Amino acid sequence: MKRSFLPALAFLAALAAPAFADDPGPGGERPPVPKGGHQIYVFYCQACHMADGKGAAGAAVFPSLASNPRMGTAVYAINLIEKGRGGMPWFSDQLTPAQVAELVNYLRTNMGNNYPEPVTAEQVLPFSKPPLRER
C-alpha cells in the first residue's frame, strides 16, 4: 500500500513560509533608542567589552575600557567611537553626537575611570559624519 507524503510536505512548506517584515514585532515599529551613557554602553559596547568593561580574549581581543588611562583624553574616546580602529567598527552612522557624548562621559566616569570633565555634543561634532548630526 502506497502512502502519499504530499499533504505532509505541503503542511511543512506552509510552516516554513517566510515572515513578512512589514509586521512590527512586540516592541512596536522601531527598536528602542538607548538613553544615557549606561544604556548606550549596554546596547552597543557590552557584547564585546563585557559588562564590567574589562574586555575579553578568544576568537578576537577586545581591549579593556575599565581603569583605562587612555580615557583621560576625551578626544581619544570620541575619535575611537566615531571612526573605529582595527577590529572595532565606527558608530558615527548609528549614534548622534549627543549619544556619543553621553557614552564618553559614562566611560570616563565608571568602571574604575575617574575623568569627570564632561564631554559635550559640540565637542563630538567635528568627528561626526554630517548626515547624522541630529536625529
Q: Where are the domains of the chain?
A: 32-132
Question: Which CATH topology does 32-132 take?
Answer: Cytochrome Bc1 Complex; Chain D, domain 2 (1.10.760)
Which class for 1: exposed (0-12), middle (13-18), buried (19 or more C-beta within 10 A)?
A: exposed
Q: What is the pLDDT of residues 79-126, one digit of tens each?
A: 999 999 988 999 998 999 999 999 999 999 999 999 999 999 999 999
Q: What is the pLDDT of residues 20-50, one digit of tens each?
A: 555 555 656 677 788 899 999 999 999 999 9
pTM (whole model) above 0.85: no
In Å, what is the CA distance from 120 to each residue of 2, 77, 80, 103, 126? 75, 13, 16, 11, 12
